Amino acid sequence: MAGEAVAHVQAACLRGVGQRPSQSSCCDSLNSPSTWKDLIRLPMKPIPLIIFAITASVLPSVSQIALSRDSSASATRTYLAHSLEVPVFVPPAPPVQKEVPAMRVDSAVTVSTGNSHTLTVLRGAASQLPDIPVPVAVEASPRRQATPQELARYAEERRRRLNFSAVVYENGVSVIRWRHADTEEPYEAICGFDVNLLAGLGRFTSDGKIFELSFIPPGVVPAYRLRAGKFPAPRPPAAAPDSVTLIQGDATDAVGTATVTLLRDLIANEKVRLTVFQADRARHQAAAAAWADAHPVLPRDETFWLKPHRGSRYLANPRPEATIR
- The string of pLDDT tens digits covering residues 301-322 is 888 888 777 666 656 665 655 5
Local confidence band at 173 (pLDDT 50, 70, 90 cut-offs): very high
Average pLDDT rounded to a whole number, residues 264-289: 95
pLDDT digits (tens, 9 = 90+) for 177-186: 999 999 999 9
DSSP, residue by residue, 25-89: HHHHHHTSHHHHHHHHTS-STTHHHHHHHHHTTTS--S--EE-PPP-SHHHHTEE--S--PPPPP
> Between residues 200 and 8, which one has the greater pLDDT?
200
CB-based contact 78:273 (threshold 8 Å):
no
pLDDT computed for residue 221 by the predictor: 81
pLDDT for the residue numbered 219: 74
Q: What is the pLDDT of residue 87?
A: 92
Residues pairing with 321 in the sheet: none
Encode pLDDT of 228-243 as tens digits: 556 665 678 889 999 9
Q: How many CB atoms lie within 10 A of CB 169?
A: 20
Distance set, CA 100 to CA 103, 104, 126, 187, 305 (Å): 9, 12, 17, 58, 8
Q: Is the pLDDT of residue 256 over 90?
A: yes
Report the C-alpha gap between 35 and 12 in whole angstroms: 7
Amino acid at 230: K
Most confident of 84-98, 108-122, 172-186, 293-307: 172-186
Mean pLDDT of the chain: 76
Phi, psi of 27 (to 5 degrees): -65, -40
- pLDDT at res. 134: 79
Report the C-alpha gap between 266 and 260 in whole angstroms. Answer: 10
pLDDT at position 114 is 76
What value does the mean pLDDT take over residues 90-101? 84
Residues of the chain with pLDDT > 90, as a percent, come to 39
- Amino acid identity for residue 289 in this structure: A
Q: Looking at residues 118-131, what average pLDDT do you find?
A: 79
Distance of CA 199 to the CA centre of its chain: 11
Task: Report residue 231: phi and psi, to 5°.
Answer: -85, 130
* CA 134 to chain CA mean position, Å: 41
C-alpha to C-alpha distances, 75 to 158, 206, 215, 266, nearest whole angstrom: 20, 8, 23, 8
Q: 22 vs 128, which has greater pLDDT?
A: 128
Cβ neighbours for 242, distance < 8 A, ≥ 6 positions apart:
69, 192, 193, 264, 267, 268
pLDDT average, residue stretch 18-27: 42
pLDDT value at residue 12: 42
**Of 56, 19, 77, 83, which is closest to residue 169 (Cα–Cα)?**
56
Distances (CA, A) of 288 to 114, 220, 282: 29, 22, 10
Q: What is the pLDDT of residue 101?
A: 72
Q: How far apart are CA 257 and CA 261, in angstroms?
A: 6
Q: What is the pLDDT of residue 14?
A: 41
Residues 53 and 231 sit within 8 Å (Cβ to Cβ): yes
What is the side-by-side strand order in the sheet with 105-112? Answer: 105-112, 118-124, 302-306
Average of per-residue pLDDT across 112-127: 81
Is the pTM of the predicted complex or chain greater than 0.95?
A: no
Q: How far apart are the first and last CA of the chain?
A: 57
